Amino acid sequence: MTTPRKKYSPAFKAQIVQELLKEEQTLTQIASKHGVHPTQLRRWREAALTAMPSNFAEEAQFQKHLAAITEQHDKVKEKLYTEIGKLTTQLNWLKKN
C-alpha cells in the first residue's frame, strides 16, 4: 500500500522559500525541520526565483494601468466640475429672474 502524496499550501511553500533565501540554515536543516525532502525544497526555490521577475513586470503593468485609470478619472472629474459651474450659474440667474 502506497502512502498518499503530501500537499503543501502556497503559504507554507513561500515561508520555506523565504527561510531558504535568508541562508541562516542549510537546505538540509530546513528540510529536516519541516519534514520536506531537500530536492523538493530546491524545486520550490527555483520556481520562486524563476517567477520573481514576472511579479515585478506585472507590478509595472499594474502601475501603468492605474495611471491610465487615474487620468481618465481626472478628466471625468474636470468635466463634472465644469458642468457644476454651468448649472450653478444657471440656477443663480433663474433665482434673480
pLDDT tens digits for 11-39? Answer: 999 999 999 999 999 999 999 999 999 99
Query: Which residue's C-alpha cell is 502524496?
Result: 5
> What pLDDT, on the 0 to 100 scale, is given for residue 57?
79
Q: Angle CA(39)–CA(45)–CA(46) in degrees, nearest 5?
A: 90
* Cα–Cα distance for residue pair 96/86, rounded to 1 Å: 16
- Are the C-beta atoms of residues 31 and 37 closer than 8 Å to each other? yes
Distance from C-alpha of 75 to C-alpha of 57, rounded to nearest angstrom: 27
pLDDT digits (tens, 9 = 90+) for 68-95: 999 999 999 999 999 999 999 999 999 9
C-alpha 15 chain-centroid distance: 17
